[in-house]
Amino acid sequence: MKILIVGGGGREHALAWRLRQSPRVTDIVVAPGNPGIATVARCENIAADNIEGLLALAKLEHPHLVIVGPEVPLVMGLADKLRAMDVPVFGPSAKAAMLEGSKGFSKDFMAKYAIPTARYRRFSTEQAAEAKAYLETFDGPPYVLKADGLAAGKGVVIAESKAEAEAEIDDMLGGKFGAASASLVIEEFMHGEEASFFALCDGETAVALAGAQDHKRVGDGDTGPNTGGMGAYSPAPILDAAMQQRVMDEIVTPTVLGMKQDGRPYRGVLFVGLMIDEKHGPRVVEYNCRFGDPECQVIMARLKDDPLPQLLACATGGLGDCKRLERFSDHAVAVVMAGAGYPGEPKKGGVIGGLAEAGQVPGVTVFHAGTARQGDDIVANGGRVLNVTATAPTLQEAVERAYAAVDLIDWPDGFCRRDIAWRALKRG
């Protein structure tokens, strides 16, 4: 089978790497790809948001399955247009991708179907005064403010004071994130432990895939601004078998049934960001319509079974007839190396050395997220640049392997968090 993967980050590298191991896969094309992906697939320099270019590529390549990695082309309707060409697609329609594409839509959807989440209200550009007045309905800080639209993982601000929240309301509704923050959601701050849960869906059926935990803040100890993710690990102790069943029963299944009832059948992977505490159980922080990044890297690293049959069933139906994917018992950890200045303006162009040596550490795979080739050199070309991913029988050993590999990488402009998986390690 020929697979076309849309995207050029660490998530897409992990997907191509795992599918390259499938005995059923004969050819993998990735658009636009990156130098790391080029070691396991054929790359075509077509941007992930170039819808017409991707449709032309699909007509040329005749893939048996298209896997759309990032959220932007999904929200733009790429899956719809491919399906109109009778091309099977792993990824939701534009109407279904609104679960991620609009925070306001997703909150209203959860309210409609009694899916547990935080109390909230929506505000438009002309309602800054009303938004500030709504802050008075909470007991006090912190306050959670979310740009309604897509903002590259940076559209959520947790304000630690009322003055900060009021200033952020002005900034967001004043265009801080462009069209993405023309509308704003303010919601109650949820206490507990965050986790990421992934389920495969074919529009009718949902099947649990895996749990993981991400590290959104840029600095050690969960300090600094939110990012697209600075590291992840799987399995997540808080998502034990009993909790995963609760998430399926209380959140995922009602979501899939509600989307079907609303005429928005959901096909692809449903990524539910969760907040879990003893009082409320699991509640939804946000939905995402694609694999998490870097959660995808640790999930792919732990998969024992070939995922292709399930991915194809999500696109064409019959997921309920597939057996559940088995995972290795090993733990997996991904450490993100980012360019200096991230999540602001990252420093680009620096030569990255030591990648071959890092890849020789037992259990380690270095996924490229934001790299480019410059002659014989690999250089930084993004904010999050590398995902150093390690597997091992214990979480502690996986962490040690990942950081051993990080320390072999020669990139003066790069940095990473040094406490990935701290919460699980603290549990012991």
Q: How far apart are the first and last CA of the chain?
A: 43
Q: Is 280 exposed, middle or buried (0-12, 13-18, 19+ CB in 10 A)?
A: middle
- Give me the residue spans of the domains in the chain: 2-93, 120-187, 193-321, 331-427
Cα angle: 395, vertex 398, 399; to 5 degrees: 90
Structure tokens at 82: 């491919």
CB atoms within 10 A of CB 372: 17
Q: In the chain, what percentage of residues exceed pLDDT 90?
A: 91
- 207: Cβ–Cβ under 8 A, 6 or more apart, which residues? 199, 200, 201, 310, 319, 320, 322, 324
Cα angle: 316, vertex 47, 67; to 5 degrees: 15
In CATH, the number for domain 2-93 is: 3.40.50.20
Give, in words, the CATH class of 120-187.
Answer: alpha beta
* Mean pLDDT computed over every residue of the chain: 95
User: Tell me: the pLDDT tens digits for 164-198?
Assistant: 999 999 999 988 888 888 899 999 999 999 999 99
Structure tokens at 377: 């050199």
Mean pLDDT of 141-145: 95
Among 254, 305, 275, smallest CA distance to 119 is for 275
pLDDT at 323: 84
Say yes or no to pLDDT of 153 above 70. Answer: no
User: Tell me: the pLDDT tens digits for 34-43?
Assistant: 999 999 999 9
Give, in words, the CATH class of 193-321.
Answer: alpha beta
Cα angle: 92, vertex 214, 15; to 5 degrees: 50
Structure tokens at 194: 């965050």
For the entire predicted model, the pTM comes to 0.94
- 428: Cβ–Cβ under 8 A, 6 or more apart, which residues? none
CA atoms of 254 and 260, how far apart (whole Å): 10
Are the CB atoms for 131 and 174 separated by under 8 Å? Answer: no
Three-state DSSP class for 104?
Answer: helix
Helix axes 94-101, 253-261, angle to 10 degrees: 130
Distance of CA 144 to the CA centre of its chain: 20
User: Tell me: the pLDDT tens digits for 217-247?
Assistant: 999 999 998 888 999 999 999 999 999 999 9
What are the E-state strand segments in 289-330? none
Single-letter code of the amino acid located at 305? D
Task: Identify the architecture of domain 331-427 in CATH.
Answer: Alpha-Beta Complex (3.90)
User: Tell me: the pLDDT tens digits for 105-135?
Assistant: 999 999 999 999 999 999 999 999 999 999 9
Among 40, 9, 12, smallest CA distance to 300 is for 12
